[in-house]
Amino acid sequence: MEQYIDKQFNTDAAIPRGAEVDAITEKAVDYAVSILNEVWECHTLEFWHHIDSNDVYSWMQEDEPELAESIRTRDLKQKFHRRLKERLHLSEQAESMVSGMKPLDLQAILAQISDEAQIDAVKQYISEKAYVNTKKWQYGQGWEDDEDYADDWDDTEEDDAYEDFAIETIAREALRIIIGRQQRLPHPRHDSKYPFIETDDVCAIIDEVRNSLASPTSFYVINDRSLPVSLQGKSREKRCIVVRVADQWLADPTLLCAVEGFKHRFVRIEGNVAPVSVFSVGINALWLDAQKAYDIFRLMRHELPILYVGSVKSVLVAHPYTHFDDLRYLWVRTLCAERGCQEVTPQQFETRFPDCTVAVPAVKRNMVDLT
């Protein structure tokens, strides 16, 4: 499994320069910030710290293929990653600052009538009570590294353009976090159930899952448009995972929606020499091969849509998912598990239903990508 940390770039490599290069890079960074704002959550106060810019670039390839191709063909990926890291550094400082604010400071900011007055109040807090670093941030070799990738700013003693930009960016992000935490709904992890949609409709993939000899051990990844018409557009994602499960789970679909989060396990399966590393989703109806699932999870942004297919009906569940926070959690759990983890069997997690039947988790070791 690819390590989920910020990639280290070659700080000795020549960084492309020029007005056209800067325009393309800034457009890419603007896209990145915009798409990150769409998946942003204010709950952990560690969102910006955990961003993987490689995931952001893969989203750019989907959403803005021409822009992503310009970055690639002009050899600007390194410059893009560095410039985005600079912007993220400012947002990280906003998160850190907000986490240290006292209730009275927050109340003083929120008491202001207009948006600009609130921004001014945050700037005043920065000036009087907070330390923020407004120097052009350097990536790679530490503060002694002269390869400062934010060198497009013309800072002199008389022109503090970058410092002004940094304070403005930190202040606006801090205010967004403060307001977001005031107005937020209960965190998804705190809700007990999630929406689901039942359907008797069929389509090619449902027929495949019901009849294929591979479906008992496989999960399928499809485009949203490959779902039955009644389910298309019901998820915020472009892709959906499709799995065959026991009919008992579909008799009471609320069981599939129970919030249990993601868990990592090493499962011993009869016939396998080595245990299988899996991620469990929900309430142990489904265990997915960890490596294959991780690769798909990296493509999801807002939620994890799974179509559970039975012999007669199917149920679409949009499982709660916070991209960077959940991926980091799964990566850390996998690392810890590899250092020593007790093996389990599916039978240890069997579920007994009201009709006295029993079902064990469906272990899906293979992935069929139909996108």
Q: What is the pLDDT of residue 27?
A: 94
Q: What is the pLDDT of residue 20?
A: 82
How many other β-carbons are positioned within 10 Å of the β-carbon of residue 14? 9
pLDDT per residue as tens, the chain (371 positions): 444 334 444 444 445 556 788 889 999 999 999 999 888 877 777 788 888 889 999 999 999 999 999 999 999 998 898 889 888 888 989 998 998 999 999 999 999 999 999 999 999 999 999 888 877 665 443 444 444 444 455 444 444 688 888 899 999 999 999 998 877 644 444 444 557 899 999 999 999 999 998 888 999 999 999 999 999 999 999 999 999 999 999 988 888 887 667 888 888 877 666 788 899 887 889 999 999 999 999 999 999 999 999 999 999 999 988 888 888 888 887 766 655 567 888 888 888 988 889 999 999 999 999 98
Report the C-alpha gap between 26 and 162 in whole angstroms.
Answer: 15
Distance of CA 326 to the CA centre of its chain: 7
Q: What is the pLDDT of residue 204?
A: 94
Q: What is the pLDDT of residue 225?
A: 95
Q: Which two tokens stand for residue 312?
A: 């007669």
Q: What is the pLDDT of residue 272?
A: 67
Long-range contacts: 15-21, Cβ < 8 Å, 24+? 15/78, 15/79, 15/82, 15/147, 15/149, 16/74, 16/75, 16/76, 16/79, 21/74, 21/76, 21/79
- 177 membership: H or E segment, kind and range: helix 161-183
CA distances from 36 to 33, 176, 333 (A): 5, 13, 24
258 near 189, Cβ under 8 Å?
no
**Spans of all domains in the chain:** 19-184, 190-369
Q: What is the pLDDT of residue 187?
A: 47
